[in-house]
Amino acid sequence: MGKGVKSRFVCTECGYEVSKWVGKCPGCGAWNSMVEQVRGGERERGERRGGSGVVWLPEVVAQGEERIVTGVGEFDRVLGGGLVRGSVVLVGGEPGIGKSTLVLQVAARLAGGVKVVYAAGEESVGQVAARAARLGCGKAEVELAAETQVESLEALLRQRRADVVVVDSLQMLYSPQMGSAPGTVNQLKFCAYELAQWAREQGGVVLLVAHVTKEGVIAGPKQVEHMVDTVLYVEAAEHNLRILRGVKNRFGSVDEIGVFEMTGKGLVEVAEVSRLFLVQREGGVPPGVVVAPVVEGSRAFLVEIQALTVPAKSGVSRVYAGSIEPARVSRVAAVLEKHVGVQFGSQDLYVNVAGGLRVQEVGVELPLAMALYSARTGLAVPAGLVVVGELSLAGEVRAVRDLRRRVRTARELGFERVVSPPGDGADPLLVVRNVKEAVRAVFGAGG
């Protein structure tokens, strides 16, 4: 090995780096996942491209964002108005969830206004064409290329003067310079870097498709998230719904979500979502169920939070929640124990959001508390009532953003009684300032 060239060992599962080989990765615990990688090649290539000059910040002319509107409204909504020239977008999701369908539909909508190249690594061009025909976009002016070597792909993009390139998928790209199999961390980083350089030098846009693990984490490409400008996840919900969620966006907000329905003709946009996640049932509301108005970006809609408490099977209380963070469920349960006196120490807690929607905003904490209280006591929440608010560790109910819009949406859907903190001039019917007042307002004398 030449002078100045150093080696390292990198885990192919999580990207953890060590200077000497070990059998078990210290980062993720995987066995025999450490592979040797040589430093030097990347640095020399970067030195050829980079410069060491500096400029004064006041002398730099700020450049505006030139966006390309894709024509897929829900996709543009999550991006913040469209694709930004010179950027890289990473689209992740479980296998079969609709990532390739989404990017192919986006590419077809773009074609005609800009030059689009679709680089198929996992399928042949014939398979891509057949899928495009099924989606009704077989006549779109998209150039197909079965190319997986990043240097050849970059040369092709320069030759074709492409504006947008779709790479399906990042795990299939490789470079002979790296000397390792496609999909390894070193290959992913190098290929992502090369395509990012092309995008910034040529003013193009790169759409990278990446797979995630069963735990919902982008496998391998997690290591390149810092190299891209936007990271989008495609999540599955009930009734063939797909949720497009931004977790990183240098050119817009990460609060927006896009809602699609998977059909025989591909992904169809769902613009009206206010009542999409409500459960239609006959009779009264069962214990453990609370309706909450939530806000995602520019949208307000209602969701049904469901809670169930049962005696702990192992003697130790556990939380089972996929739609709401388990840590948040445990914290809300602890607040109820401290300030209301309801005991959960001997109970297993099950929490779900109807429709499979993953909710992250703080406005669901008070309705979650009411759902847990209802499930533990067997007292049902009255029909026609919604609950919203953030819950502090001191048991206080704190204000939430866009309260007026939440209340308006609830009333439009027939919910006249709103339990909420004061604020925003929304004039809700039942104002509460702490969790005890909330219990009395929702459950009355029975609480």
Q: For 386-413, what is the mean pLDDT?
A: 94
Q: What percent of the chain has pLDDT over 90?
A: 62
Q: For 252-278, what is the mean pLDDT?
A: 90
Establish whether 95 is an annotated binding residue: yes
Establish whether 218 is an annotated binding residue: no
Q: For 50-72, what is the mean pLDDT?
A: 81
State the amino acid at position 72 in one-letter form: V
361, 405 Cβ separation under 8 angstroms: no
6: tokens are 């150093």
- 20 phi and psi angles, rounded to 5 deg: -125, 155
92, 221 Cβ separation under 8 angstroms: yes
Q: What percent of the chain has pLDDT over 70?
A: 90
- pLDDT over 80 at 86, yes or no: yes
- Beta strands 34-38 and 7-11 are antiparallel
Establish whether 126 is an annotated binding residue: no
Instruction: Identify the pLDDT of residue 296.
Output: 87
Establish whether 257 is an annotated binding residue: no
Q: For 60-84, what is the mean pLDDT?
A: 91
Q: For 365-381, what is the mean pLDDT?
A: 97
Which 3-state string (H, E, C) describes 12-78?
CCCCCEECCCCCECCCCCCECCEEEEECCHHHHHHHHHCCCCCCCHHHCCCCCCCEECCCCHHHHHH
Instruction: Identify the pLDDT of residue 5.
Output: 47
What does pLDDT average to over the chain? 88
92, 233 Cβ separation under 8 angstroms: yes
State the amino acid at position 45 in one-letter form: R
Q: For 294-321, what is the mean pLDDT?
A: 91
- pLDDT over 60 at 43, yes or no: no
Q: For 284-295, what is the mean pLDDT?
A: 94
- CA angle at 378 for the pair 440 and 382, rounded to the nearest 5°: 50
Instruction: Identify the pLDDT of residue 349.
Output: 97
CA–CA separation, 244 and 237 (whole Å): 11
Q: For 212-236, what is the mean pLDDT?
A: 76
Q: Which domains does the chain have, with CATH numbers?
A: 7-43 (no CATH), 66-269 (3.40.50.300), 289-446 (3.30.230.10)
Which 3-state string (H, E, C) describes 225-248?
HHHCCEEEEEEECCCCEEEEEEEE
- pLDDT over 90 at 344, yes or no: yes
- CA angle at 115 for the pair 110 and 117, rounded to the nearest 5°: 90
Rg (alpha carbons) of the chain, rounded to whole number: 25
Which residues, 6 or more positions from 176, have their beta carbon under 8 angstroms from its beta carbon?
149, 151
pLDDT confidence tier of residue 40, bands split at 50, 70 and 90: very low
CA–CA separation, 341 and 119 (whole Å): 60
Q: For 351-362, what is the mean pLDDT?
A: 91
Instruction: Identify the pLDDT of residue 45.
Output: 44
- pLDDT over 70 at 6, yes or no: no
Express each pLDDT in 312-328 by its tens digit: 987 788 999 989 999 99
Residue with more model confidence, 206 or 38: 206
> Comparing C-alpha atoms, which of 185, 386, 219 is closest to residue 303?
386
State the amino acid at position 393 in one-letter form: L
39: tokens are 């430093």
Residue with more model confidence, 221 or 130: 130
CA–CA separation, 245 and 234 (whole Å): 7
Express each pLDDT in 150-194 by its tens digit: 999 999 999 999 999 999 989 899 999 887 788 877 888 899 999
CA distances, 48 to each of 42, 44, 127, 190, 368 (Å): 10, 6, 39, 15, 56
310: tokens are 């049962």
